[in-house]
Structures are given as structure tokens and as C-alpha cells.
Amino acid sequence: MQVVIFSIILALLIITLLLVYLNWRGKQPIEVSGGPDEVIFLANQLLHSGREAQALDYLERAAAMGMAHAAQFLGELYSLEDHHLFDKSKADHWFQKAAELDEQFAQLQRQMLKFKVHPTQEDGKEQLEAMLKPGADQGNSQQQTELGRLYQESPLLDPDGSKALHYLELAAEAGDTQAQYHLANLLQEPRHGEPDPARARSLLMAIADSEPLAKNQLAQMLLRGEGGPADPREAERLMREEAEDNEFALIELAHIYQEGKHLPKDIDKAEECLRQAMALENNSASYRLGELLLKHRRASDSHSEAITLLTPLAEQWWTDALFLLGKAHEEGLGTRRHLPTALAYYRLAATDPAPYHLERVKELSAKMGSYEKEQAESLYQAFLTEHPIDKSQQACIDLTHGLRLLHEDDRGRRHPREAVSFLERAALAGDNLAFEPLHKACAEQGLRVDAAVWAQIALEDRFYFLPSGEMESSLVSLKQGFSEAEQALFDRRLDELRGALAGH
């Protein structure tokens, strides 16, 4: 009996000692060896096996040895808001360390700040300026370009545009083609002082063969005769080169050929460009080709092809495609002439209440009898049943009409007050392209609080990538003049809209 008890005690002692040893061994530092992939893999294994402290120690020692990937991983771990490790100051520290150790991570940090997706740093532009300025002042042309672009887009950081000009000039002199392109744009539209289109044109000419954006910009200057004499032949050559693999450039070139203003009118070339763009599965090219075939071709095969191109777009609620299908059925282009079908399509197009949509509905209705109108109503309802308009499609239509109301109509009138309701509907349905025109329309009418609210909403939206410098300046200016009541209204209205947009 004593032997059995002694054996049990001995076994328990051995197990205890083994557990103590394993616990001690589990806390010992692991030698850092291998490349970044191996280090990150082992750190992940440690984390997933519950050895968190050892994983953090391992990564910190790897970062101390100069491994940027380990520092970046630590930054990401400490920036997880729903995790118990979340610590903003530690995350900032390790992100900055990664940027110091590796320029690729520095570029990543800068891009995250630029596009408002950095996990910890909220004051993106000031942080970005702080990251770029030391390198830019030490002669790094890439960082000079980035800093110049930051100032170019940030009136609050560079009110008179002198900083943007300074850093872009430095980088351009060093041969940075991006800097030369953006400097050319700045010279055409300086924040202060007179434009210098001749110098802008010279800069673009120097880099047109290596910078696609410069090619297009130069072509536009040559077409319009800006910064020197017009040269349509060279402009056409440049645009042809740019359009080789760019469907948007093809569509633009087709429009120029159709318009016949800066280049000789050439419908055949326009059709060729649109067919190339359509082969790249561009819906805008399909619409424009359908329009061209109906307007400029006489063969019935061309008209039938136009209907084939326009029908799927109409079913997606492209209202101008619906309008053209109405025209085809009214005039018998590619199909039998049938006025009830034409009226049904015109009424569907008038979901976007453009004046020419509404006028065509009114004019055609006046020519038709009650039986034909009943047929049109039946066709109209059948289309709505088969192709119900969804929220995003309606938002796009509201945005289109809102923008139309902001611009001059055929009588030179604008309707900004009416535009607000359409734009707000589009915004609340999730179309962030409505934010900036809403801000402008409200500001124009003296609706300062609403103008400031929509500017704030736009600046907070991570997926709103349009230049926002002017909007930032406007927001600051508006809020500086707020009374206490206006500030309270701003806060309340902002909360309401944030909630409405979050629920979209």
C-alpha cells in the first residue's frame, strides 16, 4: 500500500515538474530567424495557440532587428478595435516604425491616409504632411511630388498655392513625370496669379510619350489652341494613341468625331471607336453606338442593331435608352411603327423628368386616341411589372435630374432650390455623387447649416474620392460663422443624416 501511494506521489511530482518546465519553456524567447514570411507565419501560430505574450515579444524583437513586416503586423494587431489588444498609441508607434524601416510600408501608410482608410490616424492631411515633408526637404523627388499634390488638393494647408508650386517645381526639375504633369495642371488653374498655358503645354509635350494622362491633356490643349496655336492633326494622333486600350478615351474621341467641332466630322471613325470600346464591355459605348446608328445610319439592319443594343440598357433604367426606343417605335426605325409602344417608352423615360422627355410625352399623347392611350398604359404597366425600378436606379435618376436643375436650361435659367430635393433623395438612397452638388446648392441658397452638413458627410465618406479641398475650405468658413443655435442644428442634422445613411 505504501508503495502504491509513493508511486502516485512520484507520478504527480513528475507531472507537476513537467508542467512547470513546459510553462517555463513556453515563456522563453524564440529565436528570430528566416524571412518575413516565416516570421509572420510563426507569430500567427503563436497567436492562434493562445501564446499571445510570446507572439508579441517575438514580433517586437523582429522589428528591433529591422524587420518592417513585423512592425506593420504589430500595428495591425493593436489597431483592431474589437480586440482586447486595441491600443491606438501602440498602433501608431508600430505603423510609424514600419514606415521608417521600409519605404514600401511608408507608401502604404501615405496611401491609407490619402484615402481616409488608415486604421488609427484621423487627421489624414496633417499626418500625411508630417510624413512627407522631411523626405521632400531632403530632396526625395517622389515625396516632393506627393507633398506638392497634397498641397494642390488642400487649400487649408496651402491657401495661396505657393507650397504646391514649390514642391512640384522641385520634383519636376528632378525629372519626375508625375510632378511635371501635375505642375502643368497647376499652371493652367493656379490658386492665385495668372495662368501660364504656354509653359503648361511645354511641360506636357515633354512627357506626352511616357505619361498617358499628359497625352490626353496635351491633346485637349492642341485642339483648343491653348498655350500656342491649335494643332488638330497632332491632337488626333495623341488621342488615337491613348485610345488604343482605353475605352473612355475611345468614347471621348468618338464624341469629337461626331461633333465635328475641333476635328472634321467623321461618323465612320466615330462608329469604329465606339465598337472598339463596346468590345471592352462598356455600357456607355453600347448606348452611344445605338444612338449613332439611329441618328446617322439609314439601313434597317443598323436600326435593328440599335434596338438590340438599347433594349438591355432600357431594362436597366437608362432613361435616354428608353427615350431612343420610343423614337424608334414612333418613326419605325428597325421595327414596325407603333405609337402606343412609343408612348409607353417615352413615359418610362419621363421617370427622369427632363424637359425633352416630358414634352415628347405631351406631344405624342395629343396625337393619339383613347384606345391607343389605353394600349400605351398597358405596355407601360407591363414594363414596370417585368422590370421594377430598384432603389439604386431611382437614385441615379434623381441625381441626374438634380444636376440638370443646377445647370442652365435652354432658356438660361437654373433651379437650385428644386435641385436640392432630388439630390437629397439620391444621397439618402446611397448615391454619394450627390454629396458635393448638394453642398453647393445649399450654400448657393444661403442654407449654411445644410451646406456644412453635406460637406461634412462627403468628407467622412471613405468611398468619396473626388477632390475635396475646396469643400474642406467651405466647411471651415461656414462653421466659423455659426451661432450657437446653428451649431446645435448642425450637430442634430448631422446625426440624423449619419443615421439615415448608415441604415441605407
CA 465, 185, 211: angle at the middle one, nearest 5? Answer: 85
H helix or E strand, kind and range, residue 178: helix 177-188
Per-residue confidence at 84, pLDDT binned at 50, 70, 90? Answer: confident
Q: Closest Cα to residue 274, out of 262, 291, 286, 259?
A: 286
Reduced to 3 states, what is the DSSP secondary structure of residue 1? coil
pLDDT beyond 50 at 20: no
Position 308 in a domain: no
pLDDT of residue 323: 98
- Block residue for cell numbers 434597317: 300
pLDDT single digits (tens) 414-467 = 899 999 999 999 999 989 999 999 999 999 999 999 999 999 999 888 665 666
Position 466 in a domain: yes
Per-residue confidence at 504, pLDDT binned at 50, 70, 90? Answer: low
Q: Return the amino acid letter for 9.
A: I
Position 336 in a domain: no
pLDDT of residue 81: 83
The CA–CA distances, whole Å, from 121 to 95, 300, 459 equal 10, 61, 15
**Average pLDDT over all residues of the chain:** 89
Q: Closest Cα to residue 437, out of 452, 456, 454?
A: 454
The CA–CA distances, whole Å, from 319 to 315, 381, 387, 433 equal 9, 16, 13, 18
Per-residue confidence at 18, pLDDT binned at 50, 70, 90? Answer: very low
pLDDT of residue 16: 46
> CB neighbours of 19 closer than 8 A, spacing ≥ 6?
none
Position 464 in a domain: yes
pLDDT of residue 463: 64
Position 278 in a domain: no
pLDDT beyond 50 at 24: no
317: left (phi over 0), alpha (psi -120 to 50) or beta: left
pLDDT of residue 147: 94
The top-scoring range by mean pLDDT among 55-69, 123-137, 308-322 is 308-322
Position 295 in a domain: no
Burial class (CB in 10 A: 0-12, 13-18, 19+), 389: middle
pLDDT of residue 42: 87
Q: What is the pTM of this model?
A: 0.81
In angstroms, rounded to a whole number, what is the distance separating the alpha carbons of residues 409 and 388?
Answer: 30
Tally of structural domains, the chain:
2
**Domain containing residue 66:** 36-44+59-77+91-97
Position 349 in a domain: no
Position 479 in a domain: yes
pLDDT of residue 366: 96
For the chain, state the CA radius of gyration. Answer: 31
CA 6, 9, 15: angle at the middle one, nearest 5? Answer: 140
In angstroms, rounded to a whole number, what is the distance separating the alpha carbons of residues 467 and 464?
Answer: 9
pLDDT of residue 475: 92
In angstroms, rounded to a whole number, what is the distance separating the alpha carbons of residues 174 and 170?
Answer: 6
pLDDT single digits (tens) 266-311 = 999 999 999 999 999 999 999 999 999 999 999 999 999 999 999 9
pLDDT of residue 6: 47
